[in-house]
Each structure stands twice: as C-alpha cells, then as structure tokens.
Structure 1
Amino acid sequence: MYFQSFVVISLLVLFNYAACIDYDGWLNIKIEHTINCGSEKYCSRGNIALKSIRAGAAVIDQIQFNKQHIDELKTLADIDSFYTIRSLVTSADNSKGTEFYSSVKAKAFLDNGLSDVINAWVLPNGAVIAVSFQVTNSSQPLPNRASNKINSNFYLRYVEQAPVPDTATYIQKLEREREAREKGDVKDNKSFLAKYWMYIVPIAIFVMISGASNPEPAAQGGR
C-alpha cells in the first residue's frame, strides 16, 4: 500500500513538473572538477544526459575516485578549502553551451562519502539558468564505503518567471500624451472643484473662522 502511494505521488509530481515546461528536448551536462587534473585546471568528472526535459529522467555517468583524488580532497579539507565543480550545459537550442560553477567544502564532501546532490534550474522555455551542487545530509564517512565511487542524485528544478513590466508600451503612452499636449489636443475634463480647490478651500476656511469669531447678536425679546 505504501509503495503504491509513493508511486502515485511520484507520478503526480512528474506530471505537475511537465505541465510547467513549455519546451521539450534533450539536455546534456558535462561535469568537470579541479582535483587530479595534472597540468589542467579542470578535468572530466562525468556526464548527465537527458533525452527529454519534460520526462526528467537522467542518465548519470561518473568516474570512480582513486587514491590521488582522495589525497587531494583531504589536502583541501585540511585547509578548510572548497571542492569546485564546473558544468557545461548544452541543449538542442544551445549547442555552444553555458558554463556554471559551484563549490562545496571538501571536508563535507569527504564526510558524506562522496555523496552529493546536483540541481539544474530550468525556465519554462527549457533554458537552464543554474547548476548547483550540495552535499547530502547522510553521514557516511568514506572509510565505511566499499568503493570510492561518487554517489550523485540529480534533480530538475522548475523556475517560474516573474512577470516582466511592459516598459515599451508605457514609454509609447507617455510619448503620445506629450505629442497631444504639444498639439493642444489634450482636454481638461476635471471638474470646477478639482481645478480650483486650492483657491476655494482657503476662502471657505476664512469664512468659517470669521463666522465663529463674530457671532450674530441674539434677537431681543419683546416687552
């Protein structure tokens, strides 16, 4: 029963995500890092491939760390430094690719048994605007693991675009109003009170004050 409920919830989440995406196509994320790269600053760590952004199913292929990788990570951890990732994202509409950078503390990465979470933030048009890495919350130190294989979970995150102000239309409206004023075509539809309230109000206040300070004498009663 629990498994069936989990499957139903998962399908609903995937359906809601797919409904938010206006574009569908393939997506590829090439992952590089900065350890055990020899003379190069960045070298390959793996690849994430998606045949369909809407489906969200990813194939993750990553290297297995060797002793050199671990030693360099420990060196970074000893100085409380960062383990840095570079991601190159390509798609059907972006063949040149877009680079993103993300870092986590090397010690945290080691303490979590080389486990991390990779998030790709996607707009409704299918464009990836960020790729972030973070360590998981599971505490599995590396010595307790059977291998030095990286354990990554990948998620597509939907980003809803905020409404963009229509600046061009507003500027055109201002231009039309300016031209109308210059031609004298603008009609003043304000009421008499709206036009001259600044003159009427002081006079009304003056009359009220005068009436209050000079009350009319009461009529004398007959004898």
Structure 2
Amino acid sequence: MKYFVAHIILQIVLHYCVAIDYDGWLDIKIEHSLNCNTETFCSRGNISLKSIRSGTPVVDQILFTKHHIEEIKELASIDGFYSIRTLCSSPDNKEMEFLSSLKAKAFLDSGLSDVINVWVLPNGAVMAVNFQVDNSSQALSLSNNKIHSKFYLRYVEQAPVPDTASYIQKLEREREAREKGEVKDNRSFLAKYWMYIVPVAIFVMISGATNPEPAAQAAR
C-alpha cells in the first residue's frame, strides 16, 4: 500500500506532458514581504498568460528600492528567508493562494535572480507555484535593483483513478454467488482443511516427545 501511494504521488509531481485539455488566460499576482509597512505582503509584480497552452508569459515586476535591499540584507545577515505569496486566477477556476520562500542571502548573491515554476492540471487549475534561486549563471549586478525571473509553466499529468465502483460491484456479485452456492471450491484437500490437520499433527509430535519408547534391554 505504501508503494502504491508513493507511486501515485511520484506520478503527480514528476510526470508532466505538453498536452492539456483546457486553454484560457491565467493571471498570477506576485507579492512579497519586503518594505510592506503594516502589511504582511505587498505587490512585487504580475505574470499574465493569454493562453495556458502556449505558455508565453508577460512578466511585469517592480524595481527594488534601497529600502528593499536594506531589508533583504538584514534578512541575509541572520540567515533568514525572503517570503513570497502568489495569487493565481483563471476564468474557470477559483483564485488559489500559494506561499514560497528563498534564502535571502542566496537570492541576494544571485543578483535578485530566481526561477518561477507554475504547475497546471489538464483542466487549467494551478496545483502549485514554487520559487528557487537561479544558480545557472554567475551572479548578476545589483546596480539597477531589477528582479531577473525565469518563468516555466509545467503541465501535470494526472495519475489514473482506480475504478472503485466496478471493484465493489464485482465483490458484491461474488458474495451473492457464494450465498447461492454457485461458486465451486476448487482448493486442494490440504488448502481446505489445514486448520484441522495442523493441530492434530502438533498433538502427535508433542505426544511422541513426552512418551518415548523404552530402550530395549541389553541381551544377557
């Protein structure tokens, strides 16, 4: 059972394909926890897709101010995390909220460079959004305080759903057949009556061990 569950989770998370049943626009609001005054999160930018199938995004993000840089440097000094919230909406699916985080020092050292992965089900619903530091190139300069993001839209392949209803119906038919005596028992004699044979065999073995035959008398 554990293997079966792990296999299903692995299929959902790792296996994706380019085919998708649904097409439509997708809007992703990006918020972060830097320089937000009294609010926990405030706007960092927005990602818009006119077509989920094409996966071509329009990414619009703010420039970091000196206050943003000061705050993220302060987080980096205590080995803290830079927190991000995304709000995803599409025509046929309700708005979904996802939280993610990056090591502040790693994000700063990368020159404010990150990778955004959005996982979408075949029906167009967003399953997950995660951010990670982009380590594919050398650190970028912080001279313009610009966020450098790579965006990837991942299409999740749903695992096959067990046909529970048919299985229950099969069990019910087998039960009814047994009640009517229509099912023949083709098991061997031992398979049918082992629960009676085993106790007798154990009893015989125990009796033989506790009552050994007397040794033959030596010849005179």
Q: Give the shorter-chain TM-score range.
A: 0.7 to 0.9
Partner SS, residue 170 of structure 2: helix
- How far the C-alpha of 1:189 sits from its partner, in A, is 6.3
SS of 1:77's partner is helix
The structure 2 residue matched to 1:100, chosen from 98, 101, 106, is 98
Larger RCO, structures 1/2 (Cα 8 Å, 6+ apart): 2
Instruction: Specify the code of the residue in structure 2 equivalent to 1:33.
Output: H
Which residue does the alignment assign to 2:25? Answer: 26
1:188 aligns with 2:181: no
TM normalised by structure 2 equals 0.75
- TM-score, L = length of structure 1: 0.74
Q: Take 1:93 and 1:200, find their aligned partners in 2: how far apart are those partners?
A: 61
Q: Report % sequence identity.
A: 64
1:99-129, CA deviations, whole angstroms, 9 ceiling, x for partnerless residues? 1111110000000000101000112222211
Q: Give distance in 2, aligned partners of 1:150 and 1:200.
A: 75
Q: By how many angstroms is 1:30 displaced?
A: 0.6
CA gap of 1:199–1:122, structure 2 versus 1, over 3 A, is closer
Kindly provide the CA deviation profile for residues 57-114 of structure 1, in whole angstroms up to 9, marking residues without a partner as x.
00001111101101110111011010011011101111x3001111110000000000
Whole-Å separation in 1 of the counterparts to 2:101 and 2:127: 17
Moved more, 74-83 or 170-179: 170-179
Aligned counterparts of 1:85 and 1:99: Cα–Cα separation in 2: 11
Cα shift at 1:195: 4.2
- Say if 2:112 and 2:142, in contact at 8 Å, map to a contact too: no
Give the one of 124, 145, 158 matched to 1:126: 124
The number of residue pairs the alignment matches comes to 179
Match 1:170 to one of 167, 172, 176: 167
Secondary structure at 1:160 match in 2: coil
* Higher CA-based Rg: 1
Structure 1 consecutive aligned stretches of length 4 or more whose deviation exceeds 4 Å = 197-202
User: Which 5+ residue runs of structure 1 have no aligned equivalent?
Assistant: 1-15, 203-223
Specify the alignment match of 1:220 in structure 2: none
Contact 1:111 1:139 in 2 (8 A): no
Shift of residue 196 of structure 1? 2.6
Q: Give the AA of the match of 1:53.
A: I
Q: SS of 1:30's equivalent?
A: strand
Counterpart contact for 2:112–2:147, Cα < 8 Å: yes
- Alignment map for 1:39-188 (pairs within 5 Å): 39-94=38-93, 96-137=94-135, 138-140=137-139, 144-182=141-179, 184-188=180-184
Amino acid across the alignment from 1:187? V
